[in-house]
Chain A
Amino acid sequence: MGKEKVISANELTKKFGDFTAVDKISFEVEKGEIFGFLGANGAGKTTAMRMLCGLSLPTSGLATVAGYDVYKQNELIKKSIGYMSQKFSLYEDLTVRENIRFYAGIYGLSDKQIKEKTALLAKQLSLEGEEKTLVKSLPLGWKQKLAFSIAIVHDPAIVFLDEPTGGVDPITRREFWSLIYEASERGITIFVTTHYMDEAEYCNRVSIMVDGRIDALDSPANLMKNFSANSMDEVFLQLARKAVRSE
Chain B
Amino acid sequence: MKNMAAVVVDNIVKTYRIKKTVVQALNGISFSVDRGEIFGIIGPDGAGKTSLFRILTSLLLADSGAASVDGFDVVKDYKQIRNRVGYMPGKFSLYQDLSVQENLQFFATIFGTTIQENYNLIKDIYQQIEPFKDRKAGQLSGGMKQKLALSCALIHKPSVLFLDEPTTGVDAVSRKEFWEMLHRLKEQGITILVSTAYMDEASLCDRVALIQKGSILSVNTPEGVTEEFKKPLWAIRANEMFHLMNDIKDDPSIESCYPFGQYHHVVFKKDGNNKPILEKIVQKGNYTNVEIDSIKPNIEDCFMALMKE
* B-binding residues in A (CB < 8 A): 39-42, 137, 139-141, 163, 166-172, 174, 177, 181, 185, 195-198, 200-202, 220-221, 231-233, 236-237, 240-241, 243, 246-247
Contacting pair B172 A237 (CB below 8 A): yes
Residues of B within 8 A of A141 (CB): 44
Interface of B is mostly: mixed
User: In the bound complex, how far is the Cα of B168 from the Cα of A205, in angstroms?
Assistant: 25
User: In the bound complex, how far is the Cα of B245 from the Cα of A177, in angstroms?
Assistant: 12
A186 CB to nearest chain B CB (Å): 13
Given contacts A195-B170, A196-B198, A246-B144, 7 further A-B contacts (CB under 8 A): A40-B172, A170-B300, A177-B259, A231-B261, A240-B172, A246-B141, A246-B143
Contacting pair B144 A167 (CB below 8 A): no
Contacting pair B21 A167 (CB below 8 A): no
* Most A-side CB within 10 Å, residue of B47, B172, B303, B308: B172
* Most B-side CB within 10 Å, residue of A140, A166, A167, A202: A167
Residues of A within 8 A of B43 (CB): 169
Contacting pair B261 A166 (CB below 8 A): no
Interface residues of B in 147-187 (CB under 8 A from A): 168-176
Total interface residues in chain B, CB < 8 Å: 35
Residues of B within 8 A of A198 (CB): 260-261
Please tell me if B103 contacts chain A, counting CB pairs below 8 Å.
no
Residue of A nearest to B241 (CB): A202
Contacting pair A167 B171 (CB below 8 A): no
User: In the bound complex, how far is the Cα of B262 from the Cα of A198, in angstroms?
Assistant: 8
Residue of A nearest to B45 (CB): A167
Please tell me if B142 contacts chain A, counting CB pairs below 8 Å.
yes
Please tell me if B307 contacts chain A, counting CB pairs below 8 Å.
yes
Contacting pair B307 A171 (CB below 8 A): yes
Interface residues of B in 248-275 (CB under 8 A from A): 258-262
A41 CB to nearest chain B CB (Å): 5
User: In the bound complex, how far is the Cα of B260 from the Cα of A139, in angstroms?
Assistant: 23
Residues of B within 8 A of A170 (CB): 44, 199, 258, 300, 303-304, 307
Contacting pair B304 A40 (CB below 8 A): no
User: In the bound complex, how far is the Cα of B168 from the Cα of A221, in angstroms?
Assistant: 27
Residues of B within 8 A of A39 (CB): 171
Contacting pair A167 B142 (CB below 8 A): no
Residues of B within 8 A of A172 (CB): 44
- Interface flags for B195-210 (1: CB within 8 Å of A; 0: not) read 0011100000000000
Residues of A within 8 A of B174 (CB): 40-41
Q: Taking A168-B44, A237-B173 as contacts, is the C-beta distance between A42 and B141 under 8 angstroms?
A: yes
Q: Taking A40-B171, A174-B258, A202-B259 as contacts, is the C-beta distance between A167 and B44 under 8 angstroms?
A: yes
User: In the bound complex, how far is the Cα of B260 from the Cα of A168, in angstroms?
Assistant: 15
Contacting pair B168 A41 (CB below 8 A): no
Q: Taking A42-B141, A177-B259, A202-B261 as contacts, is the C-beta distance between A171 and B171 under 8 angstroms?
A: no
Residues of A within 8 A of B259 (CB): 174, 177, 202
* Most B-side CB within 10 Å, residue of A41, A137, A240: A41
User: In the bound complex, how far is the Cα of B259 from the Cα of A198, in angstroms?
Assistant: 9
Contacting pair A195 B242 (CB below 8 A): no
Please tell me if B212 contacts chain A, counting CB pairs below 8 Å.
yes
Select B168's contact among A167, A240, A243, beta carbons within 8 Å: A167
Contacting pair B172 A197 (CB below 8 A): yes
